[in-house]
Structures are given as C-alpha cells and as structure tokens.
Structure 1
Amino acid sequence: MACSRFSFGLLCGVLVILVWASAAQLAHAARRYPYLGMEVQVKGFDRQPLQTQRPFNIAHRGSNGEIPEETAEAYVRAIAEGADFIESDITATKDGKLICFHDLVLDFVTDVADHAEFADRIRTYEAEGETVTGYFSVDFTLEELKTLRARQRFAFRDKSYNDKFQIVTFEEFISIALNSERIVGIYPEIKSPVFVNKHVKWPDGKTHEDIFVETLLKFGYGGKYLSKEWKDKPLFIQSFAPTSLIHASNLTDSPLILLLDNATSVTQDTNQTYAEITSDEYLKFISKYIVGLGPWKDTVVPPDVNNYLSAPTDLVARAHALNLQVHPYTFRNEYEYLHFDFHQDPYQEYSYWIHNVSVDGLFTDFVGTLHLYQQWTSPLN
C-alpha cells in the first residue's frame, strides 16, 4: 500500500505523535541508564511483550542512519524509535573481550588514526579472501579501544555525533536491551569467526563461538523460537559461517540464522558458493540447525543494469517451504540505495518487500521509517 493513499493530515498527525514519543523515550532512557558498564536493572515487573504479528523491525547496528553505528546511543535511539530487535556484530579484542563492531579494522568508523600512541599498530593480514591493511581490533585491548570514539561511516549522513561515543562490549549491548522499558530482542552475529579464532587466544582451548554463547547464557538467554523463554528474552543468533552455527546449535537451543552474502562470495569457513548454500539440498540440510536466512536483498530480487528490479528469485518460497524465515538486509532511506521502481520512496520499498516478497523481518538503518510504515499499514492490536 503506497504512502500516498493515506490522508496528509493523518500522516502528519501520526508523525508528530510518534516523533514526540520517540524523543521523550530517548530522553528518558538517557536519564535512566548510564549506557556503559551498567548492570541489568529491569526485574520483577511486566513489560510490553515483543510483537509477533508483523515482520520484525531489526535495527541494523542500531539506528545508524542517524547516530554512529553500534554505539550505545544508536541502540537506545533504535529502541525509542520502535525496533523489535537491535542487531550487532560481535568480534573480539586482543585480550579476548567481546565487542560490538562490524569491521575487522577500526579505520573507517573511529578516530583511531588521530591517536599518535597507536601509530605503530597498523598491520596487514589475510582475511576472508582479501589482503587487508589497517588498525585491527584484535591488536588492541578493551581498555585501549575504550579510548577511541565512533564516527559516522557514510559521508552523506549526519556527522554531528562524531567523536562522542565509545565502542561498547557485548555485555553492555545485552544490558541495553534488558534495561529497556518494553521487551526488545537482540540479534548478535558471530562475526568473522575464522579470522577472530586465528588471532585471539581464548582460555581453556575455547573458541569465539564458545565465549559468544557463554555470554548469552550468563544473561539468561535460551529457548526455542516463540517459546515462553524466548519471548521473555528474544534472541536470534546470526552468522555467515555455517560451521559456527552448527557448533552453536550444540551449545544452545536459541534460534539461529544463516546469513547469505552476495552471489559471487564464498563462505569464510567452508568455501562454498552462494549457489551451493542456497541449493535445495543444502537448505534442507541446514534447516535442521537454523530457523531462517538473512540474505542480501539484491540476491533475493536482483536489480538490472538500469537500477530497476528484476523478477524475484524463488529463495523466499523455497525457504518458507522448509519453515525457514527470511530476514533480508539492508534497507536504507537514501536515494543511493533505492531502486527506481520505488520513486525514491522508502515506504514503497517496504510495501513491496512485505506484501509482494513476503519477508518475515527486515534489517534497516532507519528504524523509525519502518516503524511508521508498519504503524500506518498494520497497527498492532
């Protein structure tokens, strides 16, 4: 349903109310929670449950369309704007601490290059089929990383929050969700496990995957999808590495999501092509361990050379036939990411993916935009 079908007055009225509410929630959250180093405080009272009536609004690295990605402030903002899940990439430090950070290197979204004391930390490693040079998080202790400040990744986004916010730990990320005034799920990724396990020395012969799951268990996460335990603390564990998910399935009954890269990539752990891991045979095999797929959206509905969409592939239908959910990534408001079919209107894009492609969740950089669209088109009971 296109946004133009709604009356302008109603649209503006809803927008004002929701923006005011989001601002008020964010301000309250900022007063109530110190973000970093906080303990879980929300106990012993009922909170608004996670909605399960419509596709999940997944805050990709927080509300990073507005605020530097994977910071506490980006996650708090995403919750205020209506996220069902907050999503993060979980990698590690030199001293084996788990942190929320997408890249292997710190160069693109922190001020590390401005720190003269770290000038000698530049390294070159082979990582996921490429030769990468930069400041790697695995060469820094957590204490050192806490001295850095986050920056906006994209030049065309607001930079007024640059150099203000810290890198956060996995435990701090979890605490943000558990301290929210309604139940908010978490959607952490076992990030680059092959590289991380090669460069980080874990205690007692453990692995990145082991420490990752142990952290979740420490905070009481567990339970099959839609079980009472899961609804109390909603969680999806995601990874591009199939063997990491299979390993995790032996440690927890929490639902797992296999991420799918672009059509020319191979898996970092098993060296399988996109065609191999999306074949009927492989999907049937991996469905014994996972509850869903997280594909790049341009592999689900490929664009043509003129930036118009081609016909959808059958991936969603084949996944649904195996009772697998599909949560594509990444939805962004800017014109650089909108195909011409949508006339530069992100609401039309959401309408297409929800109603035509029938996905079960969407990774978005702009949580508020998706939330407003869903509130207008499928308000919760």
Structure 2
Amino acid sequence: MARTRPLVIGHRGAPGYRPEHTRTSYELAISMGVDAVEPDVVVSRDGVLVVRHENEIGSTTDVAEHPEFADRRTTRSIDGEALTGWFTEDFTWDELVTLRCRERLPLLRPGSASHDDAEPMLRLRDLLDLVREASFSRGREIGIVLEIKHATHFGAQGWDVAGLVDAELRAAGWGSGAHPLVIESFEQTVLERVRDRGIRASYVYLLAGEGRPFDLVVRDGDAAPTYVQTASPAGLDLLAGRFDGISVDKALIVDHPASRVVDDAHARGLQIYTWTCRPENAFLSPRFRRPGADAAFGDYEGEWTAIRDAGIDGVFVDHADLGVAFFGG
C-alpha cells in the first residue's frame, strides 16, 4: 500500500531533548513513535564507523577536558575548508569511548545540555543492534537512514568507506533488505560504491542549499555542478535511474514557493525528503518566526504545513514527538 504521509525520521535521534547521537536520544525518538532514525557515520583511526555528525568532535564531546588528548588538537582541511579541533581519525575507538557526549547547542537547548557528560559515543554497530532489538520488542518496523559523511576525505587517508559500511551492515544483518534501510550522502560516488557492493537499501542523494559536492569538486574542479543546479529539472534528469531519491534543504521548498523541486523529483520517479524540521525561531524561515528569543518556538506548524502540502515523502525532525504528532496523523 502506498504511503499516505511522510516518513518521520528522528534526526540524530531526538536532539531537541537529548545530546545528539546518544543512546538515550535514539531510544527517546523510538519511544515517541518515529518511523526511522538517522545516524551519521565517520571513521576512527582504526577503521571503526563512529556515530557522529562530524569528524570534528570538540563541540559535541568533553574531549577538550582530557589533558591526555590536548596534543591531538589540530587544523585540518575538511572538504576544502580549514577546521580546527579534534578529529575522529586521530583517535582509536578505545580512546573515543572514554569521551562523553555533549549538546551541540547548549544556549538554544539547555534542557538537552542538562544531560551532558552522561553517555559515551556509539559505534554504527551499536545503533544497528539497538534499532533491530527495538523493532522486535515494539512489534513494528523501525528503519535506519544512514548518512555517510566525508567519504572522499577519509578515502584520501586510505579508508575504503564503502567497504567499511558494507562490512558493518552485513555483519549486523542489515545488508540483505530484511530491515528498512536508506543510505544517503552529499557525495554521489560513495552511494554508488555501496550500492554496487549489493547492499539492499534505498539510495538517497543529499542536496544542500548552497555549495558543491566535494567528491565531484575533487574529480571535476570548477566544472562540478552546484547542489542547486542538481535540484533543477536538468540536474534531476541526471539522477533519475541512478538513485532512489533526493533529500533537500527545506529552504529549497519553504523559501522558494515557486519551486517545483518536489513535483520535478516525483515526475522522474525520485522520492524526496527534506531536512531539518525544527520548531525554534533560530531555524525557521523568517516569515514563520515569532517574537521572542532564538530558542522560543515560532510558527513551526505553519512552516511544516508548507512542507507537508508540497507532497514531501520524508521529513527529518529534531523533536520527535512534535514531528510524529504533526506529520504522522
């Protein structure tokens, strides 16, 4: 039976309430009724797939308070931009697991920050097992939308990211299509490499509101298309038949009322997701903000109505309960 409402995806778990990518963040999202959860994965020095939004971990862990790791602070070029901090590729998993997770946005989300320093990081395998067990215990299918981060960057360091993902999914029983799995990335090449290995999943290409995909910049230089160009009808023509869907910055829908990206994607047989639905003023399109601080909730229902009415197939939400209540009805 065709889905009549968007897939509601717990973005990094339920980070509106708990530090992102922690066990309790994912458990809370599942308990609130999401259809799927979204982990991001990066690579450790010893090749472990670690669940973190970025490979720089200074803003989401207590690493800065570990004197034994002070000399690991460095500056790296990540997808063409200089970034200073601590990076997963400089730590073994045994070292990373000694760190504790923290809220990325403590001023906006003090309630979540009250749970700082309580939990270690997760490996991808930990989350795969958690979701499979939750599906069994709750008697309903819960999916995973797995985002692969910085594959070209890690590839330059000698890691076959597609091979690591393939091995982990198969070892955990997630590679055969037995569980609902979506694999997504801002880089086309890693999606194709994982798919070519035979992992049964839906493959979704992420499109930001600006910039160019780093894998294509490395390959094609200035000839690489921008993400916005790829969201055009001509750009979508090149994706049709190669991927199962796209996932776009919500600004391409909310801030451009004349945009036909949803209809254009559907016309080419592509599903379309959008990210990220958040209720705070800081994240809403200007016309949906309301008086109050950045952390105050604005007219998020107005913005989400525009997204729902556009005919979207999936939405990423930070506040799982609000997302399920609004989009899940």
Structure-2-length-normalised TM-score: 0.88
Deviation string 1:311-332 (CA, Å, 9 cap, x unpaired) is 2411111101011111110111
Distance in 2 separating the partners of 1:274 and 1:147:
38
Paired AA for residue 273 in structure 2: H
Partner SS, residue 328 of structure 1: strand
Paired AA for residue 255 in structure 1: S
1:235 corresponds to which residue? Answer: 181
Paired AA for residue 215 in structure 1: E
Distance in 2 separating the partners of 1:216 and 1:148:
25
Partner SS, residue 184 of structure 2: strand
Deviation at 1:250, TM superposition (A): 0.6
1:291 corresponds to which residue? Answer: 244
> Are 1:147 and 2:89 an aligned pair?
no
Whether the 8 Å CA contact 1:78–1:367 is kept in 2: the answer is: yes
Q: Out of 259, 262, 275, which is 2:209 matched to? A: 262
Distance in 2 separating the partners of 1:119 and 1:214:
33
Deviation at 1:213, TM superposition (A): 1.9
2:220 corresponds to which residue? Answer: none
Deviation at 1:220, TM superposition (A): 2.6
Paired AA for residue 351 in structure 1: T
Whether the 8 Å CA contact 1:55–1:359 is kept in 2: the answer is: yes
1:132 corresponds to which residue? Answer: 83
1:278 corresponds to which residue? Answer: 231
Deviation string 1:10-66 (CA, Å, 9 cap, x unpaired) is xxxxxxxxxxxxxxxxxxxxxxxxxxxxxxxxxxxxxxxx99442011111110011
1:219 corresponds to which residue? Answer: 172
Distance in 2 separating the partners of 1:127 and 1:94:
16
Q: Using the TM superposition, name which of 333-342 and 149-158 deviates more.
A: 333-342
1:167 corresponds to which residue? Answer: 121
Mapping 1:1-381, distance limit 5 Å = 52-154=3-105, 155-157=107-109, 158=111, 159-180=113-134, 181=138, 182-199=140-157, 201-202=158-159, 207-222=160-175, 229=177, 232-251=178-197, 252-263=199-210, 265-271=211-217, 272=224, 273-302=226-255, 310-342=256-288, 344-355=298-309, 357-375=310-328, 378=329
Partner SS, residue 8 of structure 2: strand
Whether the 8 Å CA contact 2:145–2:184 is kept in 1: the answer is: yes
- Which segments of structure 1 move beyond 4 Å, counting only runs of 4 or more? none
Q: Which runs of 5+ in 1 are unaligned?
A: 1-49, 224-228, 303-309
Q: How many residues align?
A: 306
Paired AA for residue 264 in structure 2: R
Paired AA for residue 316 in structure 1: V
Provide the alpha-carbon RMSD of the alignment. 1.8
Distance in 2 separating the partners of 1:51 and 1:218:
31
Deviation string 1:120-177 (CA, Å, 9 cap, x unpaired) is 0012111112111111110000010001001111122021100001100000011111
